[in-house]
Amino acid sequence: DHGRRGAKTFTRYYDTRTGDYISDEVGRCDHEVRCRYHLTPSEYFERYPMLKEGHKGSVAARPAPLVMPEPEPVSYPSIPFDVFRKTLKDHHKNNIYLFLRRHFTREVADKVAARYYLGTSKYLPGAPVFWYIDSGFGITTGKIIYYPDPLTGKRFRGADKYHGKPVVNFVHAVLKIPGFKRKPCFFGEHLLTAEPAKPVMVVESEKTALIASAFYPGLVVLATGGMNGLQNLNWSLTRGREVTLVPDTSTGDIATKNWTEQAKLINTRHNLSIKISDRLDSIATEKQKNEGWDLGDFLLRQKAEG
């Protein structure tokens, strides 16, 4: 209710040439000290380079209510099924699958890979494709991330590109599909349809979702794909279920504070009762927080320690 005294506002960036906002999620919360939400246009276009073409003017900022109106229905394209199907093999070349095999039995690793349709990309050696499949089983896109070492399961760090290619990219960008508009979607969203009776856990990264699902097969584990942008996801799909958000640890518990603020808005907007878990923050050391340990890190460490 942004009409109340002391209500939070969201300063959004807009294209000065067209007057259009860059995106509902690109901007800064006026409670930045507490929730630290701030997504700049450059960060947004680095994440979604395929959307930059439509914004050729300079950018400026102006306030807008943080509680956004319900989006109008939009028709979104899907990735061609044949492209998707061809990635569902060669797991022996997939560094995330090999990482799962290092920590779990083949049966568990195969079940997780099948449940989430884990793909293998030829874009970079060993790179998985995390397919974003919506509740109607439409293939909204695939996220390709370069994991160079199946032993550590850590993302490639230190540069934005490897051999001239971005180390994080999307299938629709690699295919250069003209005019493609990505549908907002949870990673694992199709499981809400396939497994309608299970409680829901929401984490940040796709890899964390895979690991957590191996430990908690009785849950549907979804990933947001990042700390920000939760407002754009279709949370109404979780209505009637117990939903718990498990943010990564972070310096100053910024991630938990960010998700707590966003959860309040989501609960109000969709009439839900999503809960936030701060358990990781309570057990993490300062070093672990600085390193951004997530649920998967703690689960695997606990498993290794017996």
Rounded distance between C-alpha atoms, residue 57 and residue 37, angstroms: 24
Determine contact, residues 28/38, Cβ cutoff 8 Å. yes
112 to 193, 206, 217, 260: CA distances (angstroms): 17, 12, 9, 29
Determine contact, residues 213/245, Cβ cutoff 8 Å. no
Whole-model pTM? 0.76
Ordered per-residue pLDDT tens for the chain, 306 residues: 333 333 445 566 666 655 566 665 567 655 434 444 566 777 766 655 655 665 656 666 655 444 444 545 667 999 999 999 999 999 999 999 999 999 999 999 999 999 999 999 999 999 999 999 999 999 999 999 999 999 999 999 888 889 899 999 999 999 999 989 999 999 999 999 999 999 999 999 999 999 999 999 999 999 999 988 899 999 999 999 999 999 999 999 999 999 999 999 999 999 999 999 999 999 999 999 999 999 999 999 999 997
244 to 70, 126, 186, 255, 275: CA distances (angstroms): 23, 32, 14, 15, 5
Rounded distance between C-alpha atoms, residue 169 and residue 144, angstroms: 5
In this prediction, residue 48 carries a pLDDT of 57
- HSE, side-chain direction, 13 A CA sphere, residue 61: 16
DSSP conformation class of 21: B
- Residues 6+ positions from 50 with CB-CB distance below 8 Å: 170, 172, 173, 180, 182
- HSE, side-chain direction, 13 A CA sphere, residue 162: 17
In this prediction, residue 75 carries a pLDDT of 73
